[in-house]
Amino acid sequence: MKEEANDLYKRKSFTAALDLYSKILNNSELPNGDCMMEFLRTVRSNRAASYIALEQYTQAVEDLRHILSSAVHDASSKPSPDSPTATSTRKAHLRLARCFYELGKYEDAMKHLDAHRAFVGDRNVSEEKALRDKILKAQRNRQSGSSSTNEMTVPLKYVVKISQPTPTADIELNETVPLSLCNTRNPPEIQAKELLVNLVKKHHAWLLKQGPLSGGAWKCWSCGKRANGMVHTPASYLHAYLEGNNAMVVDFVQPVCVDRGPCDREARKMMQEEMTMAANIGRRG
Ligand SMILES: [Zn+2]
């Protein structure tokens, strides 16, 4: 049945191939065992390819995620890169990258391309490279599109202060900001907020990986355990530009042990109180 389905796929009868793959996957009378698991992963992988050919990316993503979560790896040894298990996992990453690209989720697409890269090592895969170029181009287009067509920009310092039991140096990153947000004391509120959100989004994953400056992990600001998340509280000093200084965003970061856990909630509560206090002082002055 699988051969027949593959044949249909090759002859570009994607809908018919898809039906047949689904029939195999829904057959509950198949025997159990690692070998059968691997067979079903291949069938599912082929069904995902059919979905992609029919531009049904969301369904393809579902199948591909299932493939990734059902890999049977021997925990004691690294699977050989050419084993069937590794091959279907590698292909799933590449296909997920393709789907997320088509769905406009470029960051997820990049994540899976990187995972795919980890499997192939230095071997140059032209399909991966072509896709990578396409994603980078789409990301650039989106960025230049969202900061309203070729608007003048000026340099922005993004300063990240990380709250640690043992203080660490601030991290400073060079960014740009539309001039229209800096040459006024009252920048448009929504755009100014958007700027902060985008800065945090853009750098969050990277910052999380800089734990004591890249050789280790951040510690939870509250309990000192290994941090798995971060609470950001960015404050903008865009009008510093008016005084002849660099526009600046200062991000107060509290690494937290568990996303949404007690230390996370505590961090959010504390920052909220600080902000309210600062706002009240501002009002009095
Ligand atoms: Zn904690």
Ligand 1 center–CA 221 separation, angstroms: 7
pLDDT tens per residue across span 116-140: 988 877 776 788 889 999 999 888 8
| 165 or 27, higher pLDDT | 165
Ligand 1 center–CA 166 separation, angstroms: 15
CA atoms of 253 and 164, how far apart (whole Å) = 9
Residues around ligand 1, an ion, CB closer than 5 A: 220, 222-223, 257, 263
Ligand 1 center–CA 231 separation, angstroms: 12
pLDDT of 219: 95
- Residue 255: in which H helix or E strand, if any? strand 247-256
CA atoms of 32 and 25, how far apart (whole Å) = 13
Buried b (16+ CB within 10 A) or exposed e, 159-171: bbbbbbeeeeeeb
pLDDT of 285: 38
CB 227 within 8 A of CB 255: yes
- Residue 161: in which H helix or E strand, if any? strand 153-162
pLDDT of 143: 75
pLDDT of 250: 96
Ligand 1 center–CA 265 separation, angstroms: 10
pLDDT of 196: 94
% of the chain beyond a pLDDT of 70 = 89
Ligand 1 center–CA 266 separation, angstroms: 9
Using alpha carbons, select from 70, 60, 14 the residue that is nearest to residue 40: 70
Domains and CATH numbers, the chain: 2-143 (1.25.40.10), 151-284 (no CATH)
Ligand 1 center–CA 102 separation, angstroms: 38
Q: Rounded mean pLDDT of 15-41?
A: 83
Q: Rounded mean pLDDT of 43-71?
A: 92
pLDDT tens per residue across span 65-81: 999 988 766 444 555 66
Q: How confident is the model at residue 284 (pLDDT cuts 50, 70, 90)?
A: very low
Ligand 1 center–CA 259 separation, angstroms: 9
| Position 210 pLDDT exceeds 70 | yes
- Please name the amino acid found at residue 129: K
Q: How confident is the model at residue 228 (pLDDT cuts 50, 70, 90)?
A: very high
pLDDT of 189: 84
pLDDT of 49: 94
Ligand 1 center–CA 280 separation, angstroms: 29
Ligand 1 center–CA 99 separation, angstroms: 36
For 62, the token pair is 């579902």
Ligand 1 center–CA 111 separation, angstroms: 27
| Position 57 pLDDT exceeds 60 | yes
pLDDT of 186: 85
| Position 112 pLDDT exceeds 90 | yes
Ligand 1 center–CA 201 separation, angstroms: 22
pLDDT of 76: 47
| Position 200 pLDDT exceeds 70 | yes
Ligand 1 center–CA 218 separation, angstroms: 11
User: Average model confidence (pLDDT) for the chain?
Assistant: 86
Residues written for the chain: 285
Q: How confident is the model at residue 35 (pLDDT cuts 50, 70, 90)?
A: confident
pLDDT tens per residue across span 254-273: 999 988 899 999 889 888 88
pLDDT tens per residue across span 144-179: 665 445 578 899 999 999 999 888 899 999 999 998
pLDDT of 75: 46
pTM of the model: 0.49
**Dihedral Cα 235, 241, 245, 249, nearest 10 deg:** 20
Ligand 1 center–CA 257 separation, angstroms: 4
Question: Positive or negative CA dihedral for 225, 230, 235, 238?
Answer: positive
Q: Rounded mean pLDDT of 43-47?
A: 93
Ligand 1 center–CA 7 separation, angstroms: 55
Q: Rounded mean pLDDT of 61-67?
A: 94
